[in-house]
Chains A and B, each alone.
Chain A
């Protein structure tokens, strides 16, 4: 309304004589600030309680500060070394000094742990050397170090140290995709028997795709049925979808263990009916099957709900029109109805897929060895192996995938149109 008057020759003014344009701009700014002030508390809260922790965690995936921090002299001494043969005596002396200091401050073990990720056995080399060199007070240190551990006579050990001199590293990301640096700092594949993460990512992807596909397969018919039934029936059926949605994840996972285990309800039923004999009960849980069945069940409502809300908006008259124009039921369904539900399929699929690739609890409980996903490996490196850099690198790769999918979702559906229940 205001804009319409602005291009007239005479400036419109408010009661106190300010040009209307300025006054409106001022009011708009005030309104903007007011709106932002309402958002600010939550934004600040999310920033501190959530976003910063995640960024902080992500930085661990490139962090290599322990080497320059604990071995500062060695790093300095190796800066000018050309990588040919053994480094000069200063480097040996610097390492001996750093190791003594590191042993004193009890930080040397961190270096040992870090180097062991790159080369198995380095932990023992570093700890053993640090213990023995403590009693050596004068040079030549080259001799003393090599006497403490013969690994120091191998140029490869020194190249490793030089390569890790920088406070940042891409090593964890390489490990996360089954690669590593070789002695000379070139990127190479891990040996076969250590290749695990790429397969695990792929498995996570294809299982998520499979689960998404299954939810479409199961969700589409019932969403369609509910959208076309009279309200009093569809509301009743909706409860059957919403009850699992509101039921604890742990309860549903427990339910599937009870259903699927070898002495469980389903197997008992199959044996009773005579499909299997009592001693040939199939293994349905603690493997891929368990993960896929339980996750499909858990994620199905996330497919049904968006499908239903899209199908609800399709007027039934379209189908009737197609039929009366001579299309048979199948043609009418495929050519007229289905294309209109594509946005619902898209929304549901992305939602289910995003949730599936990050799943942890259900695979951990019913997945056994073959049905676990990348999240379980992240948890393993967080809690058991303590290789936090690798856990962070795997996490960042997973996170990047999810964020990309989120943008896709936002493009297709719009987050503000997300419906819950």
Chain B
């Protein structure tokens, strides 16, 4: 949208005014996330920029909240739990979701809309309702307050993302490739691992990353299903924010922002690779 050479003064003003407004909106999106990063290095227990920080005096900055985080067994325990739960639920939801997406993408699958609706319902239903439902049911079957229970609950919440991303990868998938492989004598597992998998892998991995972040970030279900042993980072942050806000939370938040930057980069790289593989030009 370069400014055309015939633009009048009004249009020039509009052009720059518009970009200025857009700039403000982008600032609105990104500033809150960036603001917590320097504040997490604050040397005093406040949530504001101290005069020392603003004058870039090294004494205004410190790693004390990071030390606090590392030396606090509760936070470390929560971090371990978050990873254990997220990793296992990611594996489960990736496997289940990929299989289902393969089934859903076949042109002759019956009741597609209904099945799709049921499978992605965990993404649509408000979390508080999912959490209450799971609270009663998982308590009944003895899975409440266990790691396994939370892993299963998060698997259910994560699968819709896998189903959706893998289905999206399969949209451009040429089903005749499968028939060609079969005609050439390949057994079904060979077809899957040699033909289908390499093509949908980017979708599978990015779905898996979505499942991972869903579990890693989830707090409502954990709030209802976990007791002290299953505490996760988001739950620890939630109760911390409700009680007394210590800047340690900002240190944790900064670490989480770093993790999300890593995840975002992986997903973007995968998306581009997937589009290249399917012969689509990258946008």
Establish whether A and B are touching in the complex (CB under 8 Å).
yes
A420 touches B260 (CB 8 A): no
Chain B interface: which of A81-89, A121-129, A151-159, A356-364? A356-364
Q: How far is the CA of A375 from the CA of B138 in the complex (A)?
A: 20
Instruction: State which residues 17-55 of A face B: CB under 8 Å.
Output: 28, 31-32, 34-39, 41-43, 45-47, 49-55
Instruction: Indicate if the CB atoms of A50 and B36 lie closer than 8 Å.
Output: no
**A42 to B119 CA separation, bound complex (whole angstroms):** 8
Encoded as 1 (CB less than 8 Å from any A CB) or 0, chain B from 148 to 168 comes to 000011011001010111011
Closest beta carbon of chain B to A329's beta carbon, Å: 6
Q: How far is the CB of B173 from chain A (nearest CB, A)?
A: 13
**Nearest Cβ distance between residue B175 and chain A, in whole angstroms?**
11
Bound CA span A2–B256, Å: 56
Q: Could you give, for residues 236-259 of chain B, a 1 whenever the CB lies within 8 Å of some chain A CB and a 0 otherwise?
A: 011001100100011001001100
B132 contact set on A, CB distance < 8 A: 57, 378, 382, 391-392, 395
A180–B109 Cα distance when bound, in Å, is 48
Whether B96 is near chain A, meaning CB under 8 Å from some CB there, is yes
> Of A248, A261, A329, A410, which one neighbours B217 at CB under 8 angstroms?
A248
Residue of B118, B135, B238 touching A46 (CB-CB under 8 A):
B118
- List chain A residues, Cβ under 8 A from B256: 247-248, 250-251
CA–CA, A264 to B102, complex, Å?
50
User: Which one of A92-100, A133-141, A183-191, A238-246 is at the interface?
Assistant: A238-246
Q: Is the CB of A46 within 8 A of B267?
A: no
In the complex, A41→B130 CA distance in Å? 20
B29 pairs with A241, CB closer than 8 A = yes
* Cβ-based interface call for B199 (8 A): no
Number of chain A residues whose Cβ lies closer than 8 Å to a Cβ of chain B: 93
Which residues of A have CB within 8 Å of B164?
Answer: 415, 418, 420
A297 touches B136 (CB 8 A): no
Question: What number of A-B contacts does a CB cutoff of 8 Å give?
Answer: 272
Q: Mark B111-153, 1 if CB is under 8 A from A, else 0.
A: 0010111111110111111101111111000000000000011
Q: Considering only CB atoms and an 8 Å cut-off, how many residues of chain B contact the other chain?
A: 94
- By beta carbon, the residue of chain B nearest A242 is B264
The minimal Cβ–Cβ distance linking B17 to chain A, given in whole angstroms, is 11
A250 contacts which of B29, B129, B130, B238 (Cβ < 8 Å)? B238
With A41-B96, A49-B153 known as contacts, the answer to whether A243 contacts B113 (CB < 8 A) is no
Q: Is A221 touching B18 in the complex (CB atoms < 8 A)?
A: yes
User: In the complex, A361→B249 CA distance in Å?
Assistant: 16
Q: Of B113, B116, B129, B159, which is in contact with the most chain A CB atoms at under 10 Å from its CB?
A: B129
Kindly identify, within residues 1 to 50 of chain B, every residue whose CB is under 8 Å from any CB belonging to chain A.
Answer: 1, 11, 14, 18-19, 21-22, 25-26, 28-33, 35-36, 39, 46-49
Flag if B268 contacts A242 (CB, 8 Å).
Answer: yes
Name the residue of chain A whose CB is nearest to the CB of B262.
A246
Q: When the two chains form the complex, which single residue of A249, A253, A265 contacts B35, counting CB atoms closer than 8 Å? A: A265
Indicate if the CB atoms of B283 and A54 lie closer than 8 Å: no
B25–A221 CB distance below 8 A: yes
Q: Which residues of B contact A (CB under 8 A)?
A: 1, 11, 14, 18-19, 21-22, 25-26, 28-33, 35-36, 39, 46-49, 96-97, 99-100, 102-104, 106, 108-110, 113, 115-122, 124-130, 132-138, 152-153, 155-156, 159, 161, 163-165, 167-168, 206, 210, 213, 216-217, 219-220, 224, 234, 237-238, 241-242, 245, 249-250, 253, 256-257, 260-261, 263-264, 267-268, 271, 283
A36-B103, A53-B138, A242-B268 known; 6 other A-B pairs, CB under 8 Å? A42-B159, A49-B155, A243-B33, A261-B47, A382-B224, A410-B117
Chain A to chain B contacts (Cβ below 8 Å), 28 pairs: A28-B108, A38-B103, A39-B103, A43-B115, A45-B96, A46-B121, A50-B133, A53-B133, A56-B136, A243-B29, A245-B264, A246-B263, A248-B217, A248-B253, A249-B219, A250-B219, A250-B234, A250-B256, A254-B245, A264-B47, A297-B29, A297-B32, A316-B1, A358-B126, A360-B126, A378-B129, A379-B128, A395-B129
